[in-house]
Amino acid sequence: MKAEIIAVGTELLLGQIANTNAQFLSQKLAEIGIGVYFHTVVGDNAERLMRTIELAASRSDLIIFSGGLGPTQDDLTKETVASYIGAGLVTDRVAMDRIEAFFHQRGTVMTQNNRKQALVFDRGDVFPNDTGMAPGMAAEHEGRTFVLLPGPPSELYPMVERYVMPYLINLLPERQVFHSHVLRFYGIGESALEERLLDLIEGQDNPTIAPYAKEFEVTLRITARAKTMQEAEELIAPVESEIRNRLGAYIYAEGETSLHEVLVDELAQSGRTIACAESCTGGRTASLITSVPGSSAVMRGGIVCYTNEAKHDLVGIPQEVLDSAGAISEETARLLAENIRQKLGASCGISVTGVAGPDPSEGKPVGLVYIGVAVEGLPTVVKEVRLAGSRHAIVSRAAKFALFYALQRLKKGERI
């Protein structure tokens, strides 16, 4: 099945927003094995939109539109597609009730043009809009499937997850279940990970194995297609097991989460608390931890000891350590982690000290970072890492390494 995605909206052609809907839809279609061959963006212009529809219908089996379902004169996707496929437009009662309720709740008067949003094709399927007003819809015409979705990502994403994906899976030649496991890695780059799994990635067709790199982390999606969910799980199990055998040390979680969420969750579950002393990360580690709702139950606080005076005065690092080993050293990292833990009465103290760049410091190279983890009842550990990239990349990576090592130490209690 050949698919293409058409985004309608002049704001895209003016560069006011990026076409993230096409990216999201492409990912979702790839997951269920539907190939996307083109993305097109066209403005709110009936004639150019019609030419775009004609071209798409000449080369694709599945054409997915986003945008142009709103209440204004500019919104003409529905009307133009209806005209192309010879469909009439009728009011969808559920959508109309929703729109009226929305205005009633806000205590404002509904203008007439909002009724337009409840119009849907007089044949095919309707997708409810749980987070907005204009419903989505789908209809067939001459062997092609036309799917229309609202433009705002906050409406399109949930509609796709809840209603459009089951509809599309139903379109596939054989009735199939698509099921994924997502593994989250830290401490290994995308290319190193690919290299270690190359035989699996190249050899496999079902399940497929797709690595993604984002915000200095790598995730791996293992997707199986099968007749039943159980069969899909059975296809995934041996592959996942092999991946865990090879790279288990780098896996910190499954599914949609993040290092800071997993760490806060681990602390909350075990009734423990954390505190951090940061030099080169300058507050980034604390900022990640406190970005998690409910972190106030586990976060005791932190000190950004950017100067040697602050390391000495606020975190009690002896002057002779700063003079001999230096601020960027295993010993300073160890003392920072231990002292911040005691000072704030936390179960776990973490520290980060290193060179974020752009210039070397203490004669030590850009990217050299020491991370200390002091957990109550366990010997303190310090890891030396060497990070590449910009100042921003080094700071982000170092902060995530601190979270990753703290998590490993707290979870497994073993040397890291």
Instruction: Kindly list the residues in this chain that would bind a copy of itself in the complex (CB under 8 A).
Output: 12-20, 22-30, 35-43, 48, 52, 55, 212, 276, 278, 281-287, 289-291, 293, 295-296, 299-307, 309-310, 313-314, 343-345, 357-358, 391-392, 395
**Contact of 89 with 135, CB cutoff 8 Å:** no
Q: Record the tokens describing residue 329, joined without a space.
A: 């050293």
**Nearer CB in complex with a copy of itself: 15/379:** 15
One-letter amino acid at 47 equals E
Q: How many CB atoms lie within 10 A of CB 123?
A: 15
Contact assessment for residue 398 and residue 272, using Cβ atoms and an 8 Å cutoff? no
Residue 5: both structure tokens together:
């995605």
As a whole number of angstroms, the distance between CA 413 and CA 293 comes to: 26
Instruction: Kindly state the smallest distance separating residue 370's Cβ from a copy of itself, in Å.
Output: 17
Residue number with CB closer to a copy of itself (378 or 393): 393
Bridge partners, residue 184, by sequence: 219, 253
Q: Which is nearer to a copy of itself, 145 or 273 (CB)?
A: 273
- Both tokens assigned to 180: 């994924």
Closest approach of a copy of itself to the CB of residue 290, in Å:
3
Give the nearest distance from C-beta 78 to a copy of itself in angstroms. 21
Nearer to a copy of itself, 123 or 272 (CB): 272
Q: For strands 274-278 and 299-304, give the pairing.
A: parallel
Radius of gyration of the chain (CA): 27
Query: Nearer Cβ to a copy of itself, position 238 or 345?
Result: 345
Shortest separation between residue 94's beta carbon and a copy of itself, angstroms: 26
Q: How far apart are CA 127 and CA 118, in angstroms?
A: 11
Q: How far is the CB of 236 from a copy of itself (least distance, A)?
A: 20
In DSSP notation, 330-365 reads HHHHHHHHHHHHHHTT-SEEEEEEE--SSS-BTTBP
Q: How far is the CB of 311 from a copy of itself (least distance, A)?
A: 9
Of 281, 252, 276, 275, nearest to 387 by C-alpha is: 281
Query: Are β-strands 2-8 and 217-226 bridged in parallel, bridged antiparallel, or unpaired?
Result: unpaired
Q: CB 229 → a copy of itself: shortest distance, Å? A: 24
Based on CB atoms, which residue is closest to a copy of itself, 100 or 290? 290
- Cβ distance to a copy of itself smaller for residue 83 or 308: 308
Q: Which is nearer to a copy of itself, 342 or 380 (CB)?
A: 342
Residue with Cβ nearer a copy of itself (47 or 320):
47
DSSP symbol at 112: G
Of the pair 124, 282, the CB lying nearest a copy of itself is at 282
Taking alpha carbons only, the member of 257, 264, 253 closest to residue 348 is 264
Provide, rounded to whole angstroms, the least separation between the CB of residue 14 and a copy of itself: 5
Backbone angles phi, psi at 126, to 5 degrees: -120, 135
| CA 364/CA 324 separation, integer angstroms | 14
372 within 8 A of 191, measured Cβ to Cβ: no
Q: How many residues does the chain have?
A: 416
Cβ 42 to a copy of itself, closest distance in Å? 6
Of the two residues 5 and 119, which places its CB atom closer to a copy of itself in the complex? 5
Q: Quickly count: other Cβ atoms within 10 Å of residue 163's Cβ.
A: 20
Report d(CA 141, CA 158) in Å as an integer: 26
Q: Which residues, in sequence order, are CB contacts of 326 under 8 Å at separation 6+?
A: 332, 362, 364
Closest approach of a copy of itself to the CB of residue 190, in Å? 11
